[in-house]
Amino acid sequence: MKIGIIGGGSIGLLFSYYLSEYYEVTLYTRTKEQADAICQNGIQLKYNGQTLRREIKTNSFENWHGDEDLTFIAVKQYHLRTIMKQLIEKQTGKTDFIFLQNGMGHLKLLELLNSETIYVSTVEHGAFKCNPYTVEHNGIGQTKLALFKGSNTLPNSLFLIHGFPVVFEADYYQMLIKKLVINAIINPLTSILRVTNGEIIQNEHYLRVVRNLFAEIAEILNLDDEGGYFQLVLEVCERTSANRSSMLKDIEQNNQTEVDSIIGFILEEAERKKIKAPICQMLYDFIKGSES
Amino acid sequence: MKIGIIGGGSIGLLFSYYLSEYYEVTLYTRTKEQADAICQNGIQLKYNGQTLRREIKTNSFENWHGDEDLTFIAVKQYHLRTIMKQLIEKQTGKTDFIFLQNGMGHLKLLELLNSETIYVSTVEHGAFKCNPYTVEHNGIGQTKLALFKGSNTLPNSLFLIHGFPVVFEADYYQMLIKKLVINAIINPLTSILRVTNGEIIQNEHYLRVVRNLFAEIAEILNLDDEGGYFQLVLEVCERTSANRSSMLKDIEQNNQTEVDSIIGFILEEAERKKIKAPICQMLYDFIKGSES
Into how many domains does chain A fold?
Answer: 2
Q: What are the tens digits of pLDDT across the range B122-153?
A: 998 989 999 999 999 988 899 999 999 999 99
Residue A256 in contact with partner chain B when CB distance is under 8 A: no
**B288: which chain A residues are within 8 Å (Cβ-Cβ)?**
205
- Do both A182 and A149 map to the same domain? no
B285/A193 CB distance under 8 A: no
Residue B93 confidence class, pLDDT cut points 50, 70, 90: confident
In chain A, residues with a C-beta closer than 8 Å to the C-beta of B209 are 282, 285-286, 289
Contact between A277 and A94 under an 8 Å Cβ cutoff? The reply is: no
Same domain, A181 and A142: no
User: Which active-site residues of B does the annotation give?
Assistant: 179
Taking CB atoms and an 8 Å cutoff, what residues of chain B touch A203?
289, 292
How many Cα neighbours within 13 Å face the side chain of A144? 16
Please judge whether A292 and B208 are an interchain contact, meaning their C-beta atoms are less than 8 angstroms apart. Answer: no
Of A133, A153, A170, the residue at which a domain comes to its end is A170
Rounded to the nearest 5°, which phi and psi values hold at A25? -100, 135
* B285 touches A: beta carbon within 8 Å: yes
pLDDT digits (tens, 9 = 90+) for A214-256: 999 999 999 999 999 999 999 999 999 999 999 999 999 999 9
Do A162 and A180 fall within a single domain?
A: no
Do B33 and B158 lie in one domain? The reply is yes
Helix axes B226-239 and B204-221, enclosed angle (nearest 10): 140
Is the separation of the CB atoms in A261 and A268 below 8 Å? no
Interface residue of A282, A283, A284, A288 to substitute, partner B, most B CBs within 10 Å = A282
pLDDT in tens, A20-49: 999 999 999 999 999 999 999 999 999 999
CB A64 within 8 A of CB A32: no
Residues B161, B207 within the same domain: no
Collect all residues of chain A within an 8 Å Cβ-Cβ radius of residue B192. 192-193, 286
Spell A128-150 as b/e; 16+ CB within 10 A means b. ebeebbbbbbeeeeebbbbbbee
Q: Does residue A192 belong to the interface with chain B, where contact is any CB pair within 8 Å?
A: yes
Under an 8 A CB cutoff, do A216 and B278 touch? Answer: yes
The reply to whether B67 and B135 lie within a common domain is: yes
**Contact, B167 vs B159, CB < 8 A?**
yes
- What's the pLDDT band for B288 if we cut at 50, 70, 90? very high
Q: Is A90 a catalytic site residue?
A: no
Asked if pLDDT for residue A81 goes beyond 90, the answer is: no
Other beta carbons within 10 angstroms of residue B254's beta carbon come to: 8
Closest CA to B5 of B23, B29, B41: B29
Judged by a CB distance cut-off of 8 A, whether residue B212 touches chain A is yes
- Residues B130 and B142: their CA atoms lie apart, in Å, by 22
Q: Are the beta carbons of B193 and A281 separated by less than 8 Å? A: no
User: Same domain, yes or no, for A217 and A153?
Assistant: no
Q: Quick one: A147 and A218 in the same domain?
A: no
Q: How far is CA A276 from the centre of its chain?
A: 28
Closest-CA residue of B relative to A209 is: B282
Is the domain of B74 the same as that of B113? yes
For position B55, which CATH number holds?
3.40.50.720
- Mean pLDDT over the full length of chain B: 95
Do A227 and A208 share a structural domain?
yes
CB-based contact A212 B279, cutoff 8 Å: no
User: Pick from A143, A170, A197: which residue ends a domain?
Assistant: A170
B282/A279 CB distance under 8 A: yes
**Which candidate from B203, B208, B286 shows the least CB-CB separation from A193?**
B286
SS (H, E, C) A232-270: HHHHHHHHCCCCCCHHHHHHHCCCCCCHHHHHHHHHHHH
Least confident interval from A42-51, A220-229, B19-28, B99-108: B99-108
Question: CB within 8 A of A251, min separation 6: which ones?
Answer: A191, A194, A257, A287, A290, A291
Q: What is the mean pLDDT of residues A82-101?
A: 92
Give the ipTM of the model, two decimals please.
0.87
B112 reaches A (C-beta below 8 A):
no
Report how far residue A201's alpha carbon sits from residue B60's, in angstroms, rounded to the nearest whole number.
43
Contacts of A256 in chain B (CB under 8 A): none
**B188, B247 contact by CB (below 8 A):** yes
DSSP string over chain A? -EEEEE--SHHHHHHHHHHTTTSEEEEEESSHHHHHHHHHH-EEEEETTEEEEE--EEEEGGG----SSEEEE-S-HHHHHHHHHHHHHH--S--EEEE--SSSTTHHHHTT---S-EEEEEE--EEEEEETTEEEEEE--PEEEEEEES-----GGGG--TT--EEE-S-HHHHHHHHHHHHHHHHHHHHHHT--TGGGGSSHHHHHHHHHHHHHHHHHHT-S-HHHHHHHHHHHHHHTTTPPPHHHHHHHTT---SHIIIIIHHHHHHHHHT---HHHHHHHHHHHHHH-
User: Chain A residue with minimal CA distance to B202?
Assistant: A289
Amino acid of residue B135: V
Contact A282 B282 (CB under 8 A): yes
Residue numbers in B near A279 (CB within 8 A)? 278-279, 282
Q: Among residues A135, A170, A205, which one ends one of the domains?
A: A170
Do A194 and A95 have their domain in common?
no
Domain that holds residue A240: 174-291
Q: Cα angle vertex A262, ends A258, A265, to 5°?
A: 125
Q: pLDDT value at position A25?
A: 98
Q: Does the beta-carbon distance from A281 to B216 stay under 8 Å? A: no
pLDDT of residue B87: 92
Residues B90 and B142 occupy one common structural domain: yes
Q: Do B289 and A203 touch (CB under 8 A)?
A: yes
Q: What is the CATH number of the domain that holds A257?
A: 1.10.1040.10
